[in-house]
């Protein structure tokens, strides 16, 4: 059985989606109208500095991912489950028909704007901790009482991201090394995603989402928040709100799908981050990556069931 998975922020790069300039011209035009600038030009030509602005990055990744998804579905490949890493959950929702592509562009733009303004520049931070288990890292975070830090992304065995106030992330990183972490990599972000510092903007985001009509999903969406499959419109809405300030339980999401007999994962969108994580979670499953039309041509030659 097949699951489609969609990447989140950090997978963007200048040149992404360039070979879709004709097949997805309509989608880039819709997104450009919503955003008020030429999104195709930004994705294809940059500059990096503009593409990497959160409020631009989110709708850009969504658009490229959805453009590729549309080609995949048209080729006759369809999923049993869909899931996305953080922002990628919005592409999963469009795949399920929860809201339209145009609405998804509006929603991800707003999400990016709210996340960007959640904390003053330099106050928040994130870091990837390699080679330490979740229980030990959680204890480290809880031991820091003068500032706030917590687990943000449980990506795969031996890779957990922490998020919070910059001072706390720094302290936790040092303690993690003392406790045996192989490596701690500060992430090049100023937004402390997926932790309680996002709670306030989540309330504002919830009000914004009331403007849209959510529908039940055609495919079960495996939610980041609890690693359970949801199809009900209200449950999806609640999960997307809670996702802003809750850890991304990606490892558990993948394990859940495998427990439901998924043996083939297709990552659709820029980059190969999720493909790498899935291989580390369970090396026995098949993993494919589609970030351009050539990748799709190669996959169509495979016997996918």
- Looking at the annotation, which residues are catalytic? 86, 194
CA torsion angle 33 34 40 43 (round to 10)? 160
Q: Which of helix, strand or coil describes residue 275?
A: helix
**Is residue 41 within 8 Å of residue 60, measured between CB atoms?**
no
String of DSSP letters for 172-231: HHHHHHHTT-SEEEE-S-S---SSGGGHHHHHHHHHHHTTS-----SS-EE-TTTS-EE-
d(CA 270, CA 17): 8
Beta bridge partners of 286: 264
**Is residue 39 within 8 Å of residue 32, measured between CB atoms?**
yes
d(CA 80, CA 206): 29
Burial profile 180-206: b = 16 or more Cβ within 10 angstroms, e = fewer? ebeebeebebbbbbbbebbeebbeebe
Residue 284's CB is within 10 A of a number of other CB atoms, namely: 7
């Amino acid at each position: 059985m097949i699951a489609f998975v969609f990447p989140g922020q950090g997978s963007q790069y200048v040149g992404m989606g360039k070979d879709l300039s004709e097949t997805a011209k309509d989608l880039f035009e819709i997104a450009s109208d919503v955003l008020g600038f030429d999104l195709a030009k930004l994705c294809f030509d940059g500059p990096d500095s503009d593409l990497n602005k959160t409020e631009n990055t989110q709708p850009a990744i969504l658009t490229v991912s959805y453009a590729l998804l549309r080609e995949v579905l048209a080729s006759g490949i369809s999923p049993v489950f869909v899931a996305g890493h953080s922002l990628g959950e919005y592409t999963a929702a469009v795949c399920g028909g929860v809201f339209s592509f145009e609405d998804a562009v509006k929603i991800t733009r707003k999400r990016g704007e709210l996340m960007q303004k959640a904390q003053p520049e330099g106050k928040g931070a994130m870091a990837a901790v390699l080679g330490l288990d979740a229980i030990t890292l959680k204890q480290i975070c809880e031991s820091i009482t003068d500032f706030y830090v917590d687990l943000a992304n449980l990506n795969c065995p031996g890779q957990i991201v922490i998020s919070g106030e910059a001072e706390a992330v720094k302290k936790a990183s040092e303690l993690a090394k003392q406790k045996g972490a192989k490596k701690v990599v500060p992430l090049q972000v100023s937004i402390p995603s997926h932790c309680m510092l996002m709670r306030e903007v989540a309330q504002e985001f919830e009000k914004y989402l009331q403007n849209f009509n959510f529908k039940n999903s055609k495919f079960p969406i495996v939610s980041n928040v609890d690693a359970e499959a949801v199809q009900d419109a209200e449950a999806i809405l609640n999960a997307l709100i809670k996702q802003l300030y809750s850890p991304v339980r990606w490892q558990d999401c993948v394990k859940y799908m495998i427990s439901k007999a998924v043996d083939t994962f297709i990552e659709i969108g820029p980059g190969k981050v999720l493909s790498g994580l899935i291989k580390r979670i369970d090396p026995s499953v098949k993993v494919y990556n589609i970030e351009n039309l050539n990748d799709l041509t190669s996959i169509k030659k495979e016997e996918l069931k």
